Amino acid sequence: MAVKVLERRPLSFWERTYLPQILGGLKVTWQNILRPSVTLQYPEERPVIPSGYRGVPTLVRDPNGREKCVSCQLCEFVCPPKAIRITPGEIPAGADTAHVEKAPREFDINMLRCIYCGLCQEVCPEEAIWLQGQYSMVGRTREEMVNNKARLYELGGTLPDSHLKWDHKRDEAGRQAGGHH
């Protein structure tokens, strides 16, 4: 392959002094030194998290305090990095939420595996798992980086629910038992 040699243009007098370039750089420096500071003093200061942010996945309760997860294991199935591990269990017959029948006995999300994709939230038929504003997960051991069921509910809190599907179902069953049809 032929090589084409380009002649470099010789530097002018002012270019040889470097002064215009130094002054140009200093101009940028002085402009910014006089602007108000925009650096966030993390971790003392925290950013405002916009709604819809996909942070750490959490489990939520409905406004009546019922745990919404019924351990259908769809999130465990869809999770690409296999971060979720659920042990399903039965709600005993005498409990307040016995009409739901099923709830997770254990629910672990390994945050060392989680890739914050949000598929678990998307697939959940009960709107029980949400990626919320929490974005910082730290721990000194691998075990600390696995969120268990108690921790997931602590992080998730309560979210509004417009359906209250299971409570509606229970109430309707009660009405029909009273002779409605």
Partner 1 sequence: MVTDNKPNLVTVNIDGVEHQLPAGANLVDALASVGKEVPHYCYHPKLSVAGNCRMCLVELGSPLRDRATGEVVMENGKPKVGWQPKPAIACASTVTPGLHIRLDSPAVKSCREGVTELLLINHPLDCPICDQAGECKLQEYSAQYGRGYSRYIDEKNAKPKRTRLGPRVTLDDERCILCSRCVRFCNEVAGDPVLGFVNRGSYNTLTCYPGRELANNYSLNTVDICPVGALTSTDFRFRMRVWFLKQTPSVDTESSAGVNTTVWSREGKVHRVTPRRNDAVNETWMADSGRELFKSGESADRLRAARIRGAEADLGAALALAAEILRAGPLAIVGSGHQSLEEQRLLARLAKAAGARTYVPARRGAGDGLLVSEDRTPNFRGALLAGLTDREADRDLAALRAEIETGRVRSLLVCREEVASLGLDAATLAKVRLVTLGTHLDAASAAAEVALPGLTVFERSGHFVNCQFRLQSFLQAIPGPAGARPDAEILGRLLGAVEGRAVAFDAGAVWQELAASQPALAGLAAGRVPAEGVLLDGSAWRHLPFPERKLLKFAAQA
Q: How far is the CB of 99 from partner 1 (least distance, A)?
A: 8
Which residues in 56-75 contact partner 1 (CB under 8 A)?
70-74
Q: How far is the CB of 132 from partner 1 (least distance, A)?
A: 21
Angle (CA) 131-72-126 rounded to 5° is 50
Torsion angle of the four alpha carbons 44, 49, 55, 61, in this order, in degrees rounded to the nearest 10 = 100
Residue closer to partner 1 by CB (options 133, 156) is: 156
Structure tokens, 105: 């006995």
Per CB under 8 A, 80 contacts partner 1: no
Per CB under 8 A, 55 contacts partner 1: no
Choose which of 88, 121, 135, 151 interacts with partner 1 (CB under 8 A): 88
CA distance 66 to 45: 34
Structure tokens, 116: 């914050």
Residue closer to partner 1 by CB (options 86, 111) is: 86
CA distance 58 to 68: 11
Q: If residue 104 lies in a helix (H) or strand (E), which one and from where to where?
A: strand 102-110
Which residues in 115-144 contact partner 1 (CB under 8 A)?
125-126
CA distance 59 to 69: 7
Residue closer to partner 1 by CB (options 10, 179) is: 179
Per CB under 8 A, 99 contacts partner 1: yes
Phi–psi pair at 33, nearest 5 degrees: -70, -25
Binding site for partner 1 (CB under 8 A): 70-74, 76-77, 88-90, 93, 99-102, 125-126, 165, 169, 172-173, 175-177, 181
